[in-house]
Structure 1
Amino acid sequence: MTAARATADIVVWSDFGGVLTSPLDEALDRVLTAADLPADAFREAVRRVADDLAPGTGCTGDLEALERGRISQAEWGRRVTAALAPRIPRIDLTRFGDHWYDGRLIDTRLLAHLRTVERPGVRIGLLTNSVLEWEPHRQALLHAAAPHLYPGLFDTVIASHVCGLSKPDPRIYAHAEATAGVRPDRCVLIDDVPANCAAALARGWHTIVHTCTDTTIAALDGWLRCR
């Protein structure tokens, strides 16, 4: 990549879960229903596991150790199951990703729109907090949604479990910039988590807090028209 291209290009970075898929709250509700667990009890168990892992992993967020590849899904599931005692979940939490992705749908309209805005000078990237064991599910969803484009849907993919960083850590945005070869002001992030957008904004990125497909498409098109 030449320096001229790195200066000129714009990268539209999209999150995956909750942006290109159905909302995360819906997925969590399905998991909790299948597990027969109250939301508060599950969240408290996950928080306790995160607190226990923090001294050894340096990760403080609820899912950071899992998303940064510091612990396997199987070990995380065993710890959460133990933290839930005396409650016993009706599903195997060591295979959490199977349940997390069950019934998930791709927002094919937003995905297709991202492909239409890609052109010389505008690239599409994926910037996602992800888990190694969940990758087959993500790949299957994308392949089913756009088999004619898969696997070249994104010019650049930044996945937390690969780089060992996760949103909203500022270092993952710096890593994305360096990988794509663009300045912060040439990046726009579409994300459903306001804290992730706030961290990107602090680095000089442009951001779109995703709430629904229509508003995200309108915001993206408006931003690109001004570039």
Structure 2
Amino acid sequence: MKNCELSIPGETRIALGVDEANRLHRYATSQAEMAAMAGRNAVLAVLRLGKLLKDLKAATIHGEWGQLFKKETEDKLKPWFQFGQQMANKYMRCYQEAVARLGEDERPALDMGLDGEAVEALPELVEKATGNAVTPRQMMLNLQVVKDGSKSAAHAARLAQHETILRNRGTGRAAVPVNPEQAMIAAVAAVQPEEELREQKRQVAVKDAHHLVILMDEFIKENLHKYLPGPDRDYLLLCLKNVGQIIKEGK
């Protein structure tokens, strides 16, 4: 799609710019809050996964555990993990190291919470056990499950933001600003369970779709389309038609 400049008077452009700045501020704030919540949920999911794997490993007979990581098997109905054994070891170590940071009277409560029982103190126990980690990567670093190496967290965030810009380049839309929390989550996507990433993307998709509908509704109610010059109106209609086709086809 070709970029085009809208013929908007200076006073109107300023008013629209202020409104857009306020919208972006609200959006950035809500995204930061959602990312922080997603990060904490991912930390809890990793601890639950680590405990589950530890329990499963203890329940398997000698030699059976390694077979659960091999999808190439004659028995197509046999269950197998969709992640490697090395990743499984990291998950289990996260759980074991986290439990070791708690007192003997706190460990049963943590286990009950990780097993799905209602434990009011679970958030505080998780924070204490993981060193207030807000992402799986930070938790693994705090618990010394992985080493930071030569890359600092800030450097990892910059890399993640750069990768986001590259992904958005040439796709017909501006690059989305990445706050540090989102950047950290993107930088450690490899250590997050696939279902957690899907749920995070689902939440973003629902929120963004809702926001787009609100913007379009305000655009029509304010009759802003009447102020668009002919070429700009045609361009907007073409964009909406293309977007509608893409969504309809599920691309």
The TM-score normalised by the length of structure 2 is: 0.28
The structure with the largest alpha-carbon Rg is 2
Higher normalized strand content (fraction of residues): 1
Higher normalized helix content (fraction of residues): 2
The TM-score normalised by the length of structure 1 is: 0.30
Relative contact order (alpha carbons < 8 A, sep ≥ 6): 1 or 2 greater? 1
